[in-house]
């Protein structure tokens, strides 16, 4: 059993993907042999919810970027590989710090799974939180696995908000940090986005999807434990990824 109105909405979106051009109500109705009244209701509904707009002139419709952003968010929040549960649990126990898995969402990294530290003073985070790619260890780890074109596109669009004195302020500075981190095998940041909090991050790839595994630590503990935490993370990630 199928719902005709839902099918028609799918057909319409596929039509725009195939033609790659804005179209009038009449053109759409003729293409599908739909009644003008039904076509108008469908287009009006999608436009009301922000999925269609009139980019050239009144009466000529095309999908908005909202659909693309929705698809990216759904993809970023897709169910995680089962091994991530064990990996994060082990990392949380060994470091006694807050740990997470993050994926890319536009210009940000979005937290997909988080396990909190049980320490009184800790980095508190939640699934769904987002941090800028350019400013954080998590974000730079994800960037390191993208193509040069993708990195350039993201960094050219970044606003370089100065969250603290340690926040990178230019594209060149971010690229320099990425190169340095690739050479040593792990990424780190300290108060670059959140004051007095930092982290160590390592990128991983599974099923052609890029993630960052991060251990988040208050700066007063990170300063003396950064390399040790990186060693623990490398060992555990290698164990679960081989």
Distance CA(38)–CA(160), nearest Å, equals 47
Q: What is the pLDDT of residue 34?
A: 96
Q: What is the pLDDT of residue 32?
A: 95
Q: What is the pLDDT of residue 33?
A: 95
Q: What is the pLDDT of residue 56?
A: 79
Q: What is the pLDDT of residue 117?
A: 93
Among candidate residues 4, 2, 5, 16, the one with its CA nearest the CA of residue 41: 5
Residues of the chain with pLDDT under 50: none
- Token digits for 242? 């081989």
Distance CA(228)–CA(131), nearest Å, equals 24
Distance CA(83)–CA(41), nearest Å, equals 46
Q: What is the pLDDT of residue 78?
A: 73
């Amino acid at each position: 059993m199928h719902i005709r109105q839902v099918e028609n909405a799918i057909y319409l979106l596929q039509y725009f993907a195939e033609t790659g051009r804005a179209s009038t109500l009449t053109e759409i109705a003729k293409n599908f042999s739909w009644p003008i009244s039904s076509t108008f209701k469908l287009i009006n509904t999608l436009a009301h919810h922000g999925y269609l707009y009139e980019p050239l002139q009144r009466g000529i419709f095309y999908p908005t970027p909202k659909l693309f952003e929705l698809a990216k968010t759904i993809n970023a929040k897709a169910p995680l590989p089962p091994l991530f549960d064990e990996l994060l649990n082990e990392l949380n126990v060994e470091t006694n710090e807050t740990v997470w898995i993050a994926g890319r969402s536009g210009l940000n990294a979005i937290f997909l799974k988080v396990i909190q530290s049980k320490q009184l003073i800790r980095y508190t985070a939640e699934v769904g939180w987002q941090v800028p790619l350019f400013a954080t260890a998590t974000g730079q780890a994800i960037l390191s696995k993208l193509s040069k074109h993708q990195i350039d596109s993201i960094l050219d669009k970044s606003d370089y908000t100065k969250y603290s004195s340690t926040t990178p302020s230019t594209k060149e500075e971010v690229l320099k940090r990425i190169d340095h981190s690739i050479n040593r095998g792990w990424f780190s940041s300290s108060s670059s986005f959140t004051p007095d909090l930092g982290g160590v991050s390592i990128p991983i790839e599974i099923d052609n999807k890029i993630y960052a595994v991060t251990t988040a630590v208050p700066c007063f503990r990170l300063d003396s434990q950064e390399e040790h935490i990186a060693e623990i993370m490398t060992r555990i990630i290698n164990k679960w990824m081989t």
